[in-house]
Chains A and B, each alone.
Chain A
Amino acid sequence: AQSVTQLDSQVPVFEEAPVELRCNYSSSVSVYLFWYVQYPNQGLQLLLKYLSGSTLVKGINGFEAEFNKSQTSFHLRKPSVHISDTAEYFCAVRVPGSNYKLTFGKGTLLTVNP
């Protein structure tokens, strides 16, 4: 079975600072990787995904993530955050052929302060 660990439950940063949200996974087989964002009282919105190819993946809202197979990591980064980036971020993995089921981490609450 696969699992996802998001190392930080909360990350406070100041506006215009860079941010990195960490995600590590465990799986005995190759996986697909995803980052989702959730604004208060809303569903999840896909930020970016890694299926294959380039290990640096660019997503919406200026976010990017890098897949590192040797470290089993998929950290999310943004060079300069805005107040509007305040939200909860979830990392997820999917095993090919698993009916597209996702395994989620517990989430990281990003709070951007002025």
Chain B
Amino acid sequence: SQTIHQWPATLVQPVGSPLSLECTVEGTSNPNLYWYRQAAGRGLQLLFYSVGIGQISSEVPQNLSASRPQDRQFILSSKKLLLSDSGFYLCACSGVDQPQHFGDGTRLSIL
């Protein structure tokens, strides 16, 4: 079965600092990978998805970027964090004809 590792679990960063959140997947090959942001009362917003190494699709314009340097590694980055980047970030994966499976998330607070 699929396992998703996300770290760190919590992160407090000052405004203007850089960001790197990492997600790695076990138990599947060539998965589709997704980054979501969850804000209170607003459900989950899909930020990026990837169907393969180096292939990134952005769903919303924003201050963040994503990269997929390896088949089962997905990284969310920012050069300069904004207050509005605060939230709960979730990584998910799906295989062929499989529902999305989620990691435990990273809670990001911007001060």
A contact set with B: CB distance below 8 Å: 9, 34, 36, 41-46, 49, 90, 99-102, 104-107
Contact = CB atoms under 8 A, between A and B. Distances in A.
Contacts of A105: 43
Interface of B: 4, 6, 32, 34, 41-44, 46, 49, 51, 57, 90, 92, 94, 98-105, 107
Nearest to A109: B41
10 contacts: A43-B92, A43-B102, A43-B105, A49-B99, A99-B32, A99-B57, A104-B44, A105-B43, A106-B41, A106-B43
Question: Which of A34, A43, A104, A106 has the largest number of chain B CB atoms within 10 A?
Answer: A43
A90 B46 CA distance: 14
Contacts, number: 49
A15 B62 CA distance: 43
B41 A42 contact: no
Nearest to B51: A99
A90 B43 contact: yes
B5 to A, nearest CB: 11
Nearest to A6: B43
A90 B51 CA distance: 24
B27 to A, nearest CB: 15
Which of A41, A45, A49 has the most chain B CB atoms closer than 10 A to its own CB?
A41
A63 to B, nearest CB: 15
A65 to B, nearest CB: 14
Contacts of B4: 43
A80 B100 CA distance: 28
B99 A106 contact: no
A99 B93 CA distance: 11
Contacts of A42: 104-105
B42 A106 contact: yes
A100 B100 contact: yes
Given A44-B92, A101-B34, A101-B46, 13 more contacts: A9-B41, A34-B99, A36-B102, A41-B105, A43-B92, A43-B103, A44-B102, A99-B49, A99-B51, A100-B98, A102-B46, A105-B43, A106-B42
A100 B94 contact: yes
